[in-house]
Amino acid sequence: MIKYVITLLFSVSLLNAQDNVTIQTEVNVGDVFEIGKPETNKYKHIDFPRENFIIKRGGIANYRRAHGEEVVVTAVKEKKDGTTEIKIKRNDGGRFFNSHTVVSADFKEAINSGELQAL
């Protein structure tokens, strides 16, 4: 009986430890990431412009095309509330949606949700 209790406690502690692990905690200018697939239809933590702003600037509002793009960090800003805001641009020098060169993102939330993935 005691070995079952110990096994259960060990399993629970391993699962709990896995949930608390983050992939990457620090970011610097020049780090390269890949844009991942969002949990829903829209990106929540990468601040892509709304469709009407993309179309107004002559772009194509297709958020699926952003998936898989390599991006590089151009600026890092620590906000007062403790979040880290980063500015990212495409690694190949192109524009997002043929209209925007730089977009911002909440780094920690984007990494944890899988919207940004380290290369």
pLDDT-based confidence at residue 117 (cuts at 50, 70, 90): very high
Q: What is the DSSP string of 20-64?
A: T--S-----TT-EEEE---SSSS-SSEEPPPHHHHHHTT----GG
Residue that is written with structure tokens 């412009």 in the block: 49
Residue type, 19: D
- Amino acid 119: pLDDT: 85
CA gap 20, 95 in Å, rounded:
35
Quote the Cα angle for 48-100-30, to 5°: 85
Phi and psi at 44, nearest 5°, equal -95, -35
Residue scoring higher pLDDT (101 or 39): 101
The encoded tokens of residue 60 equal 């194509």
Residue 28 has pLDDT above 70, yes or no: yes
Instruction: Indicate the pTM of the whole model.
Output: 0.74
- Amino acid 30: pLDDT: 94
- Amino acid 20: pLDDT: 45
pLDDT-based confidence at residue 16 (cuts at 50, 70, 90): low
